[in-house]
Amino acid sequence: MDGITVLGYAACAVTALTFLPQVVKTWKEKSAKNVSLMMFLIAFVNEVMWIAYGVLRNDMVIIVTNVIMIIMCSVMISLKLKYKDE
């Protein structure tokens, strides 16, 4: 594995964590008034596309990264719908 591939894996690992702080913050505050639902809907769509791309390319790093992201994204969408006006 070359250095560029390692960088790609590291980028995937950091990317997978992106939504976690928002999920934790919303969970704790029980409020998501200023959070954009559309952002997470777009993220959901692009993660479905990335998972399909990963499956077709047989690329486990892309699949794992985007499965983690789509789970967090789904949690965030449900939290947003639950706390949308609070």
Residues near its own copies (CB under 8 A), total: 36
| Interaction of residue 53 with its own copies, rule CB under 8 A | yes
DSSP 15-75: HHTTTHHHHHHHHHHT--TTS-HHHHHHHHHHHHHHHHHHHHHT-HHHHHHHHHHHHHHHH
- Of 57, 60, 81, 82, which lies in the binding site for its own copies, with binding defined by CB under 8 A? 57
Q: Name the token pair of 28.
A: 């704790």
| Residue ranges that bind its own copies, judged by CB under 8 A | 4, 7-8, 10-11, 14-15, 17-22, 24-26, 29, 31-39, 42-43, 45-46, 49-50, 52-53, 56-57
